[in-house]
Amino acid sequence: MSHLRLSLRDFSIPLALLAVMAFFALAAPEFLSARNLSNLMVELSITATLAMGMLLIILPGHIDLSAGSGVGLLGGIASILVFHHEIPALASLVLGLLAGILIWLAMGVFIVRERMPSFIVTLGALLIFKGLFWQVIDNATVPVTVGGKTNAYSLLTTYYLPPSVGWMLAGVLVLALGVTQVLARKRDLQHGFEAESPERFFLRLFVTAQAMALFVLVTGQFRGIPLPSLILGGVSFAVYVITQHTSLGRHLYAIGGNAEAALVSGIPVRGTVIAAFGCMGGIVAITGFMQTAYAGSSTTTVGELMELDAVAACVIGGVSLRGGRGTVLGVLLGAMIMTALINGMTLLSLQPEHKFIARGTVLILAVWMDMRLNHGRA
């Protein structure tokens, strides 16, 4: 029965995505326009990038409620450096990235050394980061450019690659994914582990290739491939490699499955959790840069409630809030559902209060489904 239930859940996520997109395609025909789909790709890239970091935090059984405020703060810091101090945009982004990594590393160290619940620490950090963010930008609007000139910051969400380059990148990615999976399967067989069947391997690679081809075709109808989608691809690939092909990833799953057993077996629990928070800091910074660039400036509302969208994307995608279970592909599908929902509601000109109600309902239903499935497995 557990295998059947898992299979049903695996199918339910893409089916839910198709249902959401079909509904908005009928309710708002412009939903499938080339321009809106391109904007949807940018919005997806921002939400899914943050969700990738949240995956690393949730796998060992933790949570980060400060991510949204961190998005605003780190994006605001980079904007201040560019606009008020006229530091080159690229250098400002690097400084913001380093700040994010250091802040989240410090938060991770505090959580593991003082044995504080991550829920409480990050909830406090949410308020601290929000206050610091407003103080940094002085409750004003700070542009990401100086004199309206294009720079590396503004290009984050305004630069598009031509479709020809997209086809080349898609081919390289499919080839790299195929080689990686073949090597992983060979390694499993050598160690006596159960390996994926050749049929399933081919089907998964074929579906991935089709998805990439569809992506290039759709984005090519507007301006080309938006740069944020490439950033998301890079972050997703890095998180995939970490979770599936490194000892850090194996440790994250083990800690989430049973922290005490992981500690007894010699896994460096503290160091693993701190490393996860450090990765999260870097991803929060990258998301902050993209979200601020997409808004065109740093304002007090940048990053608001983004941590909840990231958590919802993870849970919808099959990540267990108790830790120990979750995949990059599932998170991507969950982020697609959340992004399509928000984008579609915007096209329908729904009131902000209705959007909040819908997002909250989706989050509750996702957590409820996760709890029900976990209870069913117990």
pTM of the predicted structure, to 2 decimals: 0.90
Contact of 26 with 344, CB cutoff 8 Å:
no
Taking CA atoms, 351 is separated from 26, 36, 342, 355, in Å, by 20, 19, 12, 7
Q: Do 372 and 240 share a structural domain?
A: yes
- Choosing from 223, 244, 267, the residue where a domain stops is 223
Q: Do 121 and 38 share a structural domain?
A: yes
- Structure confidence by residue, pLDDT tens digits, 63-95: 999 999 999 999 999 999 999 999 999 999 999
Q: Do 370 and 322 share a structural domain?
A: yes
Q: Do 216 and 71 share a structural domain?
A: no
| pLDDT at residue 133, rounded to an integer | 97
Average pLDDT, whole number, for the chain? 89
Beta strands in 178-258 (DSSP E): 225-226
pLDDT surpasses 60 at 155: yes
**Residues of the chain above pLDDT 90, percent:** 62
More confident residue, 194 or 138: 138
Lowest mean pLDDT, pick from 71-85, 148-162, 197-211: 197-211
- Choosing from 223, 246, 261, the residue where a domain stops is 223
pLDDT surpasses 70 at 7: no
| pLDDT at residue 310, rounded to an integer | 95
Q: Do 249 and 211 share a structural domain?
A: no
Q: Do 94 and 208 share a structural domain?
A: no
- Choosing from 192, 207, 223, the residue where a domain stops is 223
Q: Which pair of tokens denotes residue 15?
A: 């089916």
Q: Do 201 and 343 share a structural domain?
A: no
Give the distance, in angstroms, between the CA of residue 93 and the centroid of all CA atoms in the same chain.
19
Lowest mean pLDDT, pick from 19-23, 179-183, 291-295: 179-183
Q: Do 346 and 215 share a structural domain?
A: no
Mean pLDDT of all residues in 165-173: 87
DSSP state of 247: H
Q: Do 261 and 132 share a structural domain?
A: yes
| pLDDT at residue 46, rounded to an integer | 97
| pLDDT at residue 187, rounded to an integer | 77
pLDDT surpasses 90 at 4: no
Q: Do 370 and 260 share a structural domain?
A: yes
C-alpha 337/C-alpha 33 separation (Å) is: 18
Q: Do 169 and 111 share a structural domain?
A: no
Mean pLDDT of all residues in 355-376: 77
pLDDT surpasses 80 at 244: yes
Q: Which of 327, 330, 328, 357 is nearest to 345 (CA)?
A: 357
Structural domain harbouring 62? 2-162+224-377
Q: What is the CATH number of the domain that holds 43?
A: 1.10.3470
Helix and strand element counts for the chain (H, E): 14, 4
User: Into how many domains does the chain fold?
Assistant: 2
Q: Do 210 and 228 share a structural domain?
A: no
Q: What's the burial of 336, exposed, middle or buried (CB within 10 Å: 0-12/13-18/19+)?
A: buried
